[in-house]
Amino acid sequence: MNESSVPDVSRTVLTGDDIDRVLTRVAFEIIEANKGTNDLVLLGIPSRGFPLAQRLAQRIAASAPGDVDPATLIGQLDITMYRDDLRHSTTRTPSPTRLPAGGIDGKVVVLVDDVLYSGRTIRAALDALADWGRPRIVRLAVLVDRGHRELPIRADHVGKNLPTAKSEKVRVHLEELDGKNEVIIEGAA
């Protein structure tokens, strides 16, 4: 059988219910690591990191003592112009960077993304973050860590570790963007 006749397969590794459970766990981990919600900011990396950050902010606000408005915890950090692969990839449309009213100076910033792979997206996010202010602490929360790092970057909060082959692709589908909630791995059988 030649390579072109190998069928592509996909398998679901997280259902919508699984995603809800891991986000609830990650929200509690973030509260515990921060010892509450004081000075906490969640910055989602477009495109799927932002809806995940919104979901985490809702869970954190619901779990925190007192009245915490999820909107005060959330922001979006565009990294498009900070990527090191702009010359080699298709054109990307920048998304607006939106910071909470209190900014990020002196805050505990949790960068939120869907999949951690090579680490290059997070490196770009750290560069972008430096242009917007100086957080006290920067942490990373990801829905999926699939390994294969090219840079010395690790997540502080991981929804699911997924050992994958480099030839496989991890696809995250979120209701807000894709009309369904799931994580699938695509690759050859």
At 93-149, the pLDDT tens digits run 788 999 999 999 999 999 999 999 999 999 999 999 999 999 999 999 999 999 999
Specify the residue for token string 């991981």: 158
Residue 185 near residue 11, CB atoms below 8 Å: yes
Q: Which CATH architecture has domain 17-162?
A: 3-Layer(aba) Sandwich (3.40)
At 120-133, the pLDDT tens digits run 999 999 999 999 99
Lay out the sheet containing 169-173: strands in order across: 8-14, 182-188, 169-173
The one-letter amino acid code at 171 reads R
| 10 membership: H or E segment, kind and range | strand 8-14
188 — pLDDT class (breaks 50, 70, 90) = low
